[in-house]
Structure 1
Amino acid sequence: MAIEEMKVKDAFRITPSHIPDNRGHFFEAWRLSELSAVSGQTFAVRQVNYSVSRRNTLRGIHGTTLPPGQAKLVTCVRGAALDVVVDLRVGSPTFGLYDTTLQEAGSGIGVYLADGLGHAFLALSDDTCMNYLCSEEYVHGTMVDIQALDPAIGIPWDTSEPFIRSAKDAAAPTLAEAVARGLLPTYAQARASYRTPVPA
């Protein structure tokens, strides 16, 4: 598999190698030792989530306060989505920057987001299902919501159709408003939370 750091620091795109035969194909989606070697972090899975979305559903931008934080490995397992990572860590060298990944079921492409990064996606087909492997169990009241249509971030959603959104996402503050209200983690907090790999 190929693991590359994205434009957002501490976010990684994982592209598996497919092995075809007469039955179909096989691939390793990710391997902890390889992800740890590239990212400098270990990733213990403590919760697994799925979301199922209608076409043109826009979810996010969602992050988590520190502590507890919540690193994620996100993969599309049905349908297709434009997946987006946004750096929400105040003081980060890539603060406010985003990067996108086209995720399609069957491709096996995954995106790893370290603590402090935000995630959003646009469902490109009906019945799009996203799988989230999470490093921490969800704690009520710790989610950070940022406006996905914030022009200062400038994510190119590239659709003329109206979005399907939750009321909470539609009312989320802009990045600047979140900074002013002290809602966001700092880069130093996030980096301090990252687990170092266990020696082989």
Structure 2
Amino acid sequence: MKIKETPLKDCYIIEPTVFEDDRGYFYEKFNEKKFEELTGLNGHFVQDNISKSSYGVLRGVHLQKGEHAQAKLVSCLEGKVWDVAVDLRKDSPTFGKWFGVELTPENKLQLYVPRGFGHGFSVLSDTAIFAYKCDNFYEKDAEGSVIWNDEELNIDWKLPKEVIQLSDKDQHLPLFKENNF
């Protein structure tokens, strides 16, 4: 397993060591001990989520706040997604910055999104199956969010605007400047 730093403080790309031959491949998707040794961060996860979406679906930007904040380790099991993390920690040197990475089953990359970050993704393939490991349990009352097309954040979702599909909830999220993170 290799840990690659991103431009955002405490946000990492996880690249597994893959053993491949003519029969297929094998890799360790996650190892808590190795993760903690390489990052110095807590790698204990308590909840796994899976979503399936079609081309143009954009989910985000979401987070859990306060004592219910969640770190996430995300990956794409089928298809192709553009995954985005936004640093929403006021005391961070990268507050208000975002980072995106393409996740696919072929590249086997994962993105570690720390507590206090917003997260979202857009689907670039016909369909995609997306997996989230979370280090805290979901709590509806702790939800936070930023609208996907916030001009101050200026996130590039790698999709033409006319194909973007949003949930009713995601169409009416607050602006970055309207939040009290």
State the partner residue of 1:64.
64
Aligned residues: percent identity? Answer: 33
2: distance between equivalents of 1:76 and 1:158? 16
Tell me which residue corresponds to 1:146: 146
User: Unpaired segments of 5 or more residues in structure 2?
Assistant: none
Is the contact made by 2:64 and 2:139 (CA closer than 8 Å) also made in structure 1? no
- Normalising by structure 1, what TM-score? 0.85
Q: Is the 8 A contact 2:56 2:165 kept in 1?
A: yes
Cα distance, 1:27 vs. partner?
1.4
Root-mean-square deviation (CA, aligned residues, Å) is: 1.3
What secondary structure, in the 3-state scheme, does the structure 2 residue paired with 1:3 have? strand
1:121 partner letter:
F
Name the counterpart of 1:177. 178
Correspondences of 1:1-200 after superposition (within 5 Å) = 1-160=1-160, 161-178=162-179, 182=180, 184=181
Please state how far the C-alpha of 1:23 moved relative to its aligned partner.
0.6
Query: The residue matched to 2:36 in structure 1 has which SS?
Result: helix
Q: Tell me the TM-score normalised to structure 2 length.
A: 0.94
Which residue identity is paired with 1:176? Answer: K
Q: CA deviation at 1:77?
A: 0.5
**1:148-200, CA deviations, whole angstroms, 9 ceiling, x for partnerless residues?**
2111111112322331001211111111111xxx2x1xxxxxxxxxxxxxxxx
Structure 1: distance between partners of 2:64 and 2:3: 24
One-letter amino acid matched to 1:170 = Q
Whichever structure has more strand as a proportion of its residues is: 2
Point out where structure 1 has 5 or more consecutive residues left out of the alignment. 185-200
Deviation, structure 1 residue 95: 0.3
Paired residue total? 180
SS in 2 for 1:170: helix
In 2, Cα distance between equivalents of 1:135 and 1:117: 13
